[in-house]
Amino acid sequence: MLSRAARPALSASNRALTRIVVPNAASYATLREIEGRLKSIKNIEKITKTMKIVASTKLTRAQRAMVDSRTYGQTSQQVFEEAQTKALEDKKTLLLIASSDKGLCGGIHSGMTRATRRMLEKDSSLDIAIIGEKCKAQLGRSNPKNMVLSFAGVGKDVPTFADAQAIADRITQLPQDYASIKIMYNKFINAQSYEPVIVEAFSEEAIAASENFAAFEIDDEVLANLREYALANSIYWALAEGHACEQSARRNAMDNASKNAGDMISKFQILYNRTRQSVITGELVEIITGATASADM
Amino acid sequence: MAFAWKAAGLTYNRYLAVAARVVRRSLKEDKRLQAERRGEMDLRFAKWENGKQGENKSLGEANASAMADAAGQEAK
């Protein structure tokens, strides 16, 4: 038994005693231990509950930001849909992964890592840029050769458009010319489920080569601006949606953790009460036997 | 080049960010405080070369200095 193993000195002195009243001596020790564990589980439950509440309040803000950002992303994406832009085949692709710095939110980061690894199996020449520490830690270990950039400091608050713009600028300043930039983020399906999806931001040549491009009457000079702006828009969309997913995932994870802690608490409470009862019963039995024995004399 | 900001080495996004900052700063006091929070950016980035992570640098400063370089080249 754990209780006696943990207290060798106590068990040595009690050995003579325990041989006679085994359940009694043992239950005194376990009663303390059960009490201690009960306390620590209660503390953990308090922490997870608080984290859940924090995540819930952040979630509403994040969801509002996500709905707003969708308009940005989808409008800019619509241009390319209408123009029927396709990625050029022969050049390199950059994969930008929008994760975040913080964990404790279930499997959303590792879901994206898995999706990335699947893509790397198909095309091992992909270059990877990562926003957020979590995916960086996972992919930096398994595919360090493919990494070109990593960003940190996201996920503290709702992402701003300034964040997206700065990231877009840094990417356009990369020496290599990419045929298309694929942005991977967690798509928010509902509060329980999300899946990693990809939006594409195209290079200037790909935009210029698209079928219905002439209909837009865009000057060559402005094209570079359009491309940069579209990239920033897409990144902003991905960041905001990823952030909302993260908050909702954290809320769920913390909800589950509090529920499990609640289960454990009720289990331990019953065990504690039973043990306490049996200790009292044992003591009563001792007293009564003692009393009857001395009355006989 | 037709655009003055392009000659100054700015990217379109930087140009937009500067313009947005000007608008935010010219708002009334109460609205300005709220709006300026949307313009904050505090990211760090690191370059990776041959499977090694480089130094963590502030993204804003690096972008600014890169654009200053670009402006210098444009002038030449």
Question: B48 and A147: CB-CB below 8 Å?
Answer: yes
A76-87 residue pLDDT tens: 888 888 888 877
B26 pLDDT exceeds 70?
Answer: yes
Looking at residue A27, what is its pLDDT? 54
Contacts of A221 in chain B (CB under 8 A): 1-3
Please say if the pLDDT value at position A3 is more than 70.
no
Q: B22 in contact with A at a CB cutoff of 8 Å?
A: no
Task: Tell me the chain A residues in contact with residue B44 when contact means C-beta distances shorter than 8 Å.
Answer: 151-153
Tell me which of A76, A133, A165, A171 to substitute to probe the interface with B (most B C-beta atoms closer than 10 Å): A165
- Using DSSP's 3-state secondary structure scheme, residue A91 falls into coil
Among the ranges given (A91-105, A240-254, B1-15), the one the predictor scored with the smallest mean pLDDT? B1-15
- Per-residue pLDDT tens for A131-173? 999 899 899 888 888 899 899 888 788 899 998 999 998 888 8
- Pairwise CA distance, residues A61 & A155, whole Å: 13
SS3 A153: coil
pLDDT, mean over chain A: 85
Average pLDDT over residues A112-123: 91
Mean pLDDT of B21-48: 88
The pLDDT value recorded for residue A281 is 95
Q: Which residue of B has its CA nearest to A137?
A: B53
pLDDT at A266: 95
Round to whole Å and give the CA distance between A192 and A59: 13
Q: What is the ipTM of this complex?
A: 0.88
Q: What are phi and psi of A213, to 5 degrees?
A: -60, -35
Rounded distance between C-alpha atoms, residue A263 and residue A22, angstroms = 30
Question: Is B64 near chain A, with CB under 8 Å?
Answer: no
The proportion of chain A whose per-residue pLDDT surpasses 90, expressed as a percent, equals 44
pLDDT for residue A297: 67
Is residue A11 pLDDT above 60, yes or no? no
Closest-CA residue to A45 (of A247, A220, A268): A268
Residue A28 has pLDDT above 80, yes or no: no
Closest residue by Cα to residue A120 from A154, A96, A143, A86: A143
Instruction: Report chain B residues whose CB lies below 8 A from the CB of A137.
Output: none
Contact A128, A142 (CB under 8 A): no
pLDDT at position A26 is 53
Looking at residue A192, its pLDDT comes to 84
